[in-house]
Structure 1
Amino acid sequence: MKITLIAGARPNFMKIAPIIHAIQKVQFDGKDISYRLVHTGQHFDEKMSHTFFTQLNIPEPHVNLNCGGGTQAEQTAAIMVAFEKELMENPTDLVLVVGDVTSTMACSIVAKKLNTKVAHVEAGIRSGDLSMPEEINRIVTDSLTDYFFTTTPWAGGNLLKSGVAADKIFLVGNVMIDTLLANQHKFEAPKFWEDYQLKKKEYFVVTLHRPANVDNADKLKEMIHEITSNVKGLPIVFPMHPRTAKIYKELGISAPNLFIVDPLGYHEFNYLVENALGVITDSGGITEETTVMGVPCITLRDNTERPETIEIGTNELIGTDPKAIKPALEKLLSNQWKKGSIPELWDGKAAERIINYLLNL
């Protein structure tokens, strides 16, 4: 069996890594399976260096299609043109896509038009918000997918409601958590840990990048003010997304307990998260990681495609009104935050289940 694995952005490689490791494991056992790793180049990321691949034990991609930049339509078209050529030159039995980036959707379309089966890892997650490009990518990809690998029963329920046959849906767990658990023993303090005099469970981590939160300068300024003013003087470490940094520089904000840092490597960032008193974010993936690590998480979004992090985990969705930040922090700082637990099958073995299912299919 030949599998083509698609990755378009840094988080995709974190999801692909355990799948590659699972393939290598069954290859060692004599199974007839091979893979080709295709990087579409959707996101240019200076941290996608050799060190990144070494850190997570990820092999270098077999090919980089270099399809970065442009509008949504331009990028989708570029990926489709490049991947069509790639797939025709390197036929495969199955194209496996992960997550919900533009590459996920574009490569699924190309594969189906070339009569190649598609497997979607993280199938069925939905926010219900069509203003998010990711939601459109999810819907289109799942409309073409042959094999649906889900993180939770909620995701499977979404697929059943849309008419997907139950025998095509496989609850396997969360490959991002596979990577988290495999690397947890390697987490290390970032270089600034001593400089900022950080102490375990005595600081907050903030990440913000969604347009609803960062594109409006006044709103971003108010959010940062509400955060810095309501943590009882505790340090706040803010690894800043380039999109946010561009706007932040114009705001003239200064607070003695706010530390702006560059984006961090996987091990350093998750060390910060694991040892934080709490996390304030608008990321979906971080809410999964905080749930597994038992760290309180405040999410500044109006909806989420990961309801399990709220229903089961440590996450709370408070919306995008800056005034909602103070009461959430008061609840957290008074030790009234829920403890949370870990969703079913988030045990580090999701990728093994995926490969076993594919071999049997």
Structure 2
Amino acid sequence: MTTLRAPDTGERPGAREFLLRAPAVGPALALLVAIAVFSVFTDTFLNPDNLSLVVQQSLVIATLALGQTLIILTGGIDLANASAAVLATLIMAKLALGGAPGFLALLLGIAATAAIGAVVGTLVTQVRLPPFIVTLGMLTMLTAVAKLVADGEAVPTGDALLTWLGTRRYLFGGIEITYGMTLALLLYLGVWYALTRTAWGKHVYAVGNAPESARLAGIKVNRTLLSVYVVAGVIFGLAAWQALGRVPNADPNAYQLGNLDSITAVVLGGTSLFGGRGSVLGTLMGALIVAVLRSGLTQLGVDALYQDVATGALVIAAVVVDRVTRRNG
């Protein structure tokens, strides 16, 4: 039997095809360029202490963005992730202040964000409400509940477990790291493995790319969507733990723009807002780009408002690139 093969034209994939296959490459290059520029124009940017601070400042947003990535990959969006995390910090701090063991407080805080994810996922899958509307309403409710729980004041916590992620250690005698960094790295590795090496991950991409085709292929679309929102909720609870490690106070007014910052990191990381394409590595690069940009511009003396303008322009540019790439793909 003769096997017919397409003739080899000698052509190699172009830049567009390469970016479609490896969406994290662009953000990685952008991050390297930003680091190079700021290292040239400032004397302190490449200082190990400054680099460590940049990573620490990006931790909570990077973790929120990890959960946000899962949701956006399915074609959804979560406007309430930061408010859920803030509420979790208050639950943890209040329980610990009332004498509950730190482990129980931590567990109940994470359970609360997982439950919020389950409620959102149920409304999206069973009631067929748009994720934008559901999470917008949830944002309003959770923000109000957090202020009611806190009675308008920050709640301090001195519990060793709740603040443990802020513990500092030093690599090679001078590079400061925290346990929060280690947790973030493990989370990213775990989600990367789940998305790229398991059937569940393939289902997530399939649902985001073409839900009807996924359904016809035998994928349980609603079950996959619900699981994504619950897993993302657990990740948001872990972001709350990281927040208490950074600052041992549960503040109802913290991370007011955390939802937008997490979306910014996801978009800059090359994940498509239209679902079905992206990577957690790209999201990590996106979170670091935001942190590097703000740190570098601050050291150059650029006003914070102009920093927001620059960040917003980058987000718009990233969405335009994604739109053009998909249209021509």
Common topology (TM > 0.5): no
Q: Which has the higher helix share?
A: 2
What is the TM-score of this pair, normalised by structure 2?
0.23
Q: Which has the higher strand share?
A: 1
What is the TM-score of this pair, normalised by structure 1?
0.22
Higher relative contact order, structure no. (Cα contacts within 8 Å, ≥ 6 residues apart) = 2
